[in-house]
Amino acid sequence: MHKPKLVTIGLVQLRCSAEPAANLTAALDGVRAAAAQGAQIICLPELFRSLYFCQSEDHDHFGLAEAVPGPTTERLSALAAELGVVLIASLFEKRAEGLYHNTAAVLDADGRYLGKYRKMHIPDDPLFYEKFYFTPGDLGFQVFPTRYGRIGVLICWDQWYPEAARLTALRGADILFYPTAIGWHPSEKAEHGVAQHQSWELIQRSHGIANGCYVVSVNRTGHEGDPQGGIEFWGQSFISDPQGCLLAKAPVEQPAVLVQSIDLGMLDRQRTHWPFLRDRRIDAYGELTRRFID
């Protein structure tokens, strides 16, 4: 029998608007609601302070960026200390003039700023023109030792890369958090929507299996952009366990506060019964650093 170590996770799935102040208020309200239900580690969606502006290349959107740490982390730090919760907040970071990142800040349960992760993989796809805005992360893959557990934070497009999950797990993460903004192009939904969503969910659940970790993915919901096109964010934020089983899942079309207790004591049992980390052939993986093997 393993010794239970229960931690309660909170997800705040938001429908974002064009008003940053209103989005921050909705996020703060969601954090309070999650904490009232017992959540100890609470994650917000990717770039929750605004609409998903990367649907177009517009220099005016750089005005949405802020320092990290900065004004939003100050508000969230005060709330984290008040409620005794760990917070993960994805923000548009202005590092210097002309230098911007897609960044997640981590705040401990006493309000201390523990650090930040800068998104490493930057997409450039129709309506996801992130390379126009974001410099790739340069802080590497990190783990944050919080009051309630060791957490790794990755962001959206990072979730498709097993290397990112592996390296974060190898640094000691018990839980992989993925703040996310992903959805359907409405014109593709009928033909490809089910497969696209299943791929997204399955790849993340597989990271939990391969690394013996819990996975927490936090999306936004609602339609944003051109009424005849744009992006229909598919919600469905979820928590899965180290066996890849879904523990909780949010709805498609509504904002939601999802709270779920997990047992970190399960990790050692899972990793000893399915010893993938033990049996890795680290002597044979050197070619992973190559772009392609011709």
Q: Which of 111, 42, 47 is nearest to 76 (CA)?
A: 111
Measured between alpha carbons, how far is 228 from 94 in angstroms, rounded to an integer? 32
Active site residue 46: yes
Is-contact 111 81, C-beta < 8 A? yes
Measured between alpha carbons, how far is 194 from 191 in angstroms, rounded to an integer? 8
Helix axis angle, 162-170 relative to 186-211, nearest 10°?
A: 30
* Of 16, 46, 54, 130, catalytic: 46
* Of 94, 156, 224, 232, catalytic: 156
* Of 94, 116, 119, 249, catalytic: 119
What does the block give as tokens for 30?
Answer: 């969601």
Is 103 in a helix, a strand, or coil? strand
Residue type, 291: R
Q: Which of 164, 102, 150 is nearest to 128 (CA)?
A: 102
Measured between alpha carbons, how far is 277 from 158 in angstroms, rounded to an integer? 21
Q: Which of 95, 113, 83 is nearest to 12 (CA)?
A: 83
Please, how many CA atoms are within 13 Å of residue 166, restricted to the half-sphere of its CB? 11
Q: Scanning the structure block, which residue is given the tokens 């997409």?
A: 123
Residues annotated as catalytic are 46, 119, 156
